[in-house]
Structure formats: structure tokens, C-alpha cells
Amino acid sequence: MPEGDSVFRLRRRLDAATRGARIADGELRSGNAAGRSLAGLGIRSHDTHGKHLLTRFDDGSTLHTHLRMQGSWTITRAGRALPTAVREKARVRFRLDDGREVWGLDLPVVDLVPTAREVDVVGFLGPDPLRDDWDAAEAVRRLSVHPSRPFVAALLDQSLIAGLGNLWVNELAFLRGIHPFAPIGATDLDALVELAARCLRVSATVPGMYQVTTGNARKGASHWVAGRAGRPCLRCGTRVRVRDEVANDPEQRRTWWCPRCQPMPEGPDVGGSG
């Protein structure tokens, strides 16, 4: 699933390519405004909150989309057609006044809302390290409300801190030296939030560092534990373990950790290590 840094990079590409452009024709093909024509609208800007993309038009409306596991955006040059099989996945289409076409493909979330009411679709989200209104203290406060909640479950909860997905949650657990299913309160939350914000910002903005957590962008060496089940830990050589993510997780995510570098802390309120 794309994470906050992925969507932030997408937003920058879309903003550079379409900001200030006018839509010659186009429509929404799903969501609460399916069938609505977009012809004549000007694109004011694109913004993000966590994994959510907000495209603002000059009529005071905002297109809210979310990629989840399968969605994507693409822009075709003037006169170039997408393959029929790809066009059939389009949920958003608009042709710009210079002939280029913008396609939102296989998007599971497509909402058109008044810009003044964006809170209706993203208001539940927690602070986002990639936004100008980032509030680290508020993120720490929200994470501290239920200190016994498992580390992975707490950080994946977008209402506590927005933008962290499975990859970053696993890598942050390793970097903090904590078992991913240990209570979130077993780690220093101020240090965790500061690290999470720094990692997301580097990944989102530094060329060549997209989702590189080890400092080594070479294939197979860019992550400490994510995707490395059964392989030796890059720090100590212990075999990396893996198990299913939070119980009943609809995304069926997996969690990786090094049992030596990330021991389960001892204590009466700590469960088994899995």
C-alpha cells in the first residue's frame, strides 16, 4: 500500500504538471458524484493529508481520492491514447486545455466535496509530518492515550499519526529496538515521533532516498527487516522473523522483526512474542 511519502511525491508530480491548468473535458466515473462533468474547471492545487490526495478546483470544490492497494494516477501526452484495458479502470478522467489527459486509475475512493468541507473526509486523521501544520506534541499525546496497544497497531492507526504504512511501521520498530507487538508505551514516544517525522521527510523529499531506511539504496539492502523474512539481520545476522499483522487486518499485512535486535520487553502487561 502506498504510504504518506508515496502520496506526497505523487502530489508534487501532479502539482508540477497540472497546477493552474484548465480542464477542457472530463468526468468522475465513480464515487458520490459519479457522472459529474469536470469541464471548465481550473486546477488550483493538489494537497495531501496522510495517504489521502486532495485536488482543489477553482469552483470551490475538492476531489478527494485514496489509492489504497491498487490505485494510481497517470498523465498522457496530447494525442496519445491509453490501452483499452487500462482506460476501463479509469475512475477519474480530465483532458487539459493543452491536450494532455489525466487519469485516476482503479481508485477505490473518489469523493467530490466543497473545499470548505474537506474536514468531512480527512478530519479524522492525526497529525501528518509532511504537512505544514505538523504537530508532534499532538501525535505524542494521541499515541499515549492507550499505552498498552501493540506498537504496530498504534502506528498504523491513521487517527493517531497520519502517513505511516506497513513498511515504515516495521522499520521504525527496528530502528527503535522494540518488538513490533510490544506495547507502544514501552518506547520513548517523543523520540519515536521525531524519528518517524524525519524518516518520512527524507523519503519524501531527498532524491535517491525513497523508502531507504538503512542508508544503503542498493537492492536487497535498503530495509532493515521489511520483506526480509528468513534472511539474516543486516545488523546482527539473526534470522528475521515474520507473522501476520494485527488480527483481522483487512489488508492482510505482515510484520517482520529481528528477535535479537528487537526483544520483547519484560513486564506483567506484556504479551507473548509470537
Retrieve residue 258's grid coordinates: 529481528
Q: How far apart are the C-alpha atoms of 261 and 176, rounded to whole Å? A: 9
Tell me, yes or no, if 51 is annotated catalytic: yes
Centre a 10 Å sphere on the Cβ of residue 198 and count the other Cβ atoms it contains: 11
Instruction: Considering the candidates 22, 253, 259, 263, report the single residue annotated as catalytic.
Output: 253
Q: Is 43 helix (H, G, I), strand (E, B) or coil?
A: strand
How does 104-137 read in b/e, with b if 16+ C-beta sit within 10 Å? bbbbebbbbbeeeebeebbeebbbbbbbeebebe
Instruction: Considering the candidates 29, 51, 95, 100, report the single residue annotated as catalytic.
Output: 51
Tell me, yes or no, if 250 is annotated catalytic: no
Q: How far apart are the C-alpha atoms of 143 and 271, rounded to whole Å? A: 19
Please report which helix (H) or strand (E) contains residue 154, including its range.
helix 151-156
150: which DSSP letter?
B
38 burial level (CB within 10 Å; 0-12, 13-18, 19+): buried
Instruction: Considering the candidates 3, 101, 118, 171, report the single residue annotated as catalytic.
Output: 3
Contact 183, 151 (CB under 8 A): yes
Identity of the amino acid at 43? I
Contact 156, 165 (CB under 8 A): yes
98 burial level (CB within 10 Å; 0-12, 13-18, 19+): exposed
Retrieve residue 266's grid coordinates: 519484560
Catalytic site residues?
2-3, 51, 253
